[in-house]
Structures are given as structure tokens and as C-alpha cells.
Structure 1
Amino acid sequence: MRVTSKAAQRGSGKLVLILLVVLVALLLAVGTAAALYLTGVISPLGNGGNNVEEVAEDESGEERPPAPARGPARYLEMEDAITVNISREDGRRAILQARLQVMSRDEEILDSVEEHMPLIRNNLINLFGDQQFEDITSSEGKNALREEALKEINSVLEEEGHWPHVEAVYFTNFVTQ
């Protein structure tokens, strides 16, 4: 009876080992699929199983590529800080200095931003220079300015014939005096 008991234990031990290996392989496969989906490498087939990208049209009827798929965020740092004089309510002058980074999920969009950086910087300098000190010292004021900067950058891209898919502008340094 002892021989049968040891054989049964060895057989059940092998079964447990096989089940553990299968379970680990299954968890790795599910984890890999989830990671690829969340990073945008793979996407759900939301158009009846046909994963063909549709072409969008802008206001003029010109065909444009669709917005980039949800992929990894890519950033472009504006090399120099933007420094401007701004007004205070009491009539005195103040200084605003801001460093920015632009975020998109499409490298071509960031290339377009870099190509038109002189015009973008000019427009941002004008935008920042029109601000009142008291309006931009709060979090809400800074966020509103960020949103205005985003609109301005996308506006420049659109005016220059590029598809405006800059998703966000971030202040990496923001100083007022």
C-alpha cells in the first residue's frame, strides 16, 4: 500500500505543477494583452471587426487623417523660457516667466510644432504679455492660461496646414514677480 500512496502523491504533485505552469502562462498572456491595450498598441475593434481607420474631413472638406490612436504620450520641450512683462491692477509692472512642454501622441504633430516654433513662440509671448498679474497667480488662472496656450498652438498648426492634435500644454516652470 505504501508504493501506491507514493505513486499517487507523485502523480498529484505533477498535476499541481502542470496546473501552476498553465495558470502562470495564462496570467502572463492576460497581463501582456492588458498592457498592450492600455498603452494603445492594440485597440478594440469598434467598427464591426474592420480595423480600417476612417479619414476625417475638416470644415473646407479637405481630407485629413484621424486623430492618433491612444498611444504613449510624447512631449516636446520649448527650449527657452517665455519671459514677458505683465501689468498689475495698481499699474505697476510684473514679470512672468514660463517654461512649457507640449504633449501629443503623434510624433508628426510634434515635428510640426517644432517646425513652426518661431510663430508659436511669438503668439505665446503676445498671449502671455496680455495677462494681468492677479489673474494668473491662482491655480485656476494658470490652468486657464494653459488652455489658452493650447488653443493658440493648435490654431497656428491649423493655419499652417497641419492637423491640430496637440493634446496638452504643461508648465514645467512658472514664475511671477
Structure 2
Amino acid sequence: MADEEVEVEGKKKSPLVKIIIIAVAAIVLLAGTVVGTMFLTGFFDRKDIHEMEKRLAELEAKNSEPKEGASGPQKVAKESPELTRFENSYMELEKPLVSNLTGTRKVIQVSLSIMTHYDERVFKNVKKHEPALRSAALDAMRQSTEADLSAPDFRKNLAAKIRDDMNAVLSKYEDFGGIEEVFFTSFVVQ
């Protein structure tokens, strides 16, 4: 009877030993694969740090050079002997903007003019993306309520919101905004 128990225990241990051997073999195979991959990709090769720093400096210098056509508009300087001033350029949007006020039957109609210190590329970008800019301005106007109209700085705040939204649109499509101010050349609420 004692002999039978020993055989039973030996048989129970046998599958456990096989599992351990298979697990160890799998780990060794995985480690061998990782080390072999690292060897083949040059991980263990001696690297010249000075050469790598030189390459990195060359890449940084190459990326910092202005690319033709990729730089943003340049500010147009105004000739003034005592201090540097920038020329103000204006452009009026051709059609007025009309929007409902939130929560009321009233409408707001405005005509906009934009001002920039930058060169004519800002105006070209405005003309190019005018539908998107008009949409952004209408969204800003639509968020206004009748109660907002009585605020003393309503027009200034609305102009600033429209300017920020327009610059966001230009930055999205042209990587540069450039609109310094938005002015209302007409402002009607009915």
C-alpha cells in the first residue's frame, strides 16, 4: 500500500515538472529573441556621443532656418524717429452679418472692419477664408442675449470675442491669425 502511494505522488509531480520545464524554456526563448533583436538592431554597438551631438545640432539648425513660403506675415514698420510704430491697415468685410439674439426675436446686424499691423498676406488670408470667418463671427454674435446689450462694454467685448474667434480660424487654416482689432462700422439691433 505504501508503494502505491509513492507511485501516485510521483505521477502527480510529473505534470508539474513538465509545466515548469516548458515555462523556463519559453522564458529562455523569449529572452533570446529580445537579446537577438537588440543585437541585430545595433543596440550593443558602441556609439560616438560627439557624432550624435553633431548630427542633432545640424538637424536643429536645419529646422530653425525659415522655409520659403512657410514664414508668417511680417509686421509693416511705420517710419518714426523716436520709437518703432507699426502701420495700421484696414479691410472691411463686404456684406453685413445678421444674427438672432439668444432667447429673443431680436436680431443684430453689424458690418465689420478688421485692422492688422502685418502685411497684405493677412488680408489675402481673410478673403480666402471669408466664409469660415463669417461663420465664426456669426457664432459669437448668436451667443449674445438681450440682457448683454445693456452692458456698458458689450460692443468692445463682442468685438474682442469676434477677433479671437477669427484669429483661431486663421491659425487653424494658415498657421497665423494677424487680426489686431475688429471694428463695427455699423451696428443695428431690431
Q: Shorter chain as normaliser: what TM range?
A: 0.5 to 0.7
In structure 2, list runs of 5 or more residues that go unmatched: 1-63, 78-85
176, 180, 185: which one aligns with 1:163: 176
129, 133, 136: which one aligns with 2:149: 136
Q: Conserved in 2, the CA contact under 8 Å of 1:112 and 1:162? A: no
TM-score by length of 1: 0.58
156, 159, 179: which one aligns with 1:146: 159
Q: Conserved in 1, the CA contact under 8 Å of 2:99 and 2:142? A: yes
Tell me, in whole angstroms, the C-alpha distance in 2 between the residues paired with 1:136 and 1:142: 8
Tell me, in whole angstroms, the C-alpha distance in 2 between the residues paired with 1:83 and 1:150: 17
Tell me, in whole angstroms, the C-alpha distance in 1 between the residues paired with 2:167 and 2:65: 17
Judging changes above 3 Å, is the alpha-carbon distance between structure 1 residues 146 and 56 closer, same or farther for their aligned structure 2 residues? farther
Deviations 1:49-96 (A, max 9, x none): xxxxxx899xxxxx7447514432111111111011113xxx532110
User: Which residue number in structure 1 is paired with residue 98 of structure 2?
Assistant: 83
Judging changes above 3 Å, is the alpha-carbon distance between structure 1 residues 137 and 78 closer, same or farther for their aligned structure 2 residues? farther
Q: Conserved in 1, the CA contact under 8 Å of 2:104 and 2:146? A: no
Judging changes above 3 Å, is the alpha-carbon distance between structure 1 residues 130 and 136 closer, same or farther for their aligned structure 2 residues? same
Structure 2 residue 106 is matched with structure 1 residue 100: no
Deviations 1:122-141 (A, max 9, x none): 11111111111221344401
Matches for 1:8-157 after TM superposition, within 5 Å:
64-65=71-72, 67-70=74-77, 71-87=86-102, 91-105=103-117, 106-157=119-170
Judging changes above 3 Å, is the alpha-carbon distance between structure 1 residues 127 and 140 closer, same or farther for their aligned structure 2 residues? same
Instruction: Provide the aligned length of Structure 1 versus Structure 2.
Output: 115
2:75 is paired with a residue whose SS is coil
**Aligned-pair Cα RMSD in Å:** 2.3
TM-score by length of 2: 0.54
TM-aligned CA deviation for residue 117 of structure 1: 0.1
Q: Conserved in 1, the CA contact under 8 Å of 2:101 and 2:144? A: yes
2:109 is paired with a residue whose SS is strand
- Structure 1: which 4+ aligned runs deviate by more than 6 Å? none
Tell me, in whole angstroms, the C-alpha distance in 1 between the residues paired with 2:115 and 2:183: 8
TM-aligned CA deviation for residue 148 of structure 1: 0.3
Q: Conserved in 1, the CA contact under 8 Å of 2:104 and 2:145? A: no
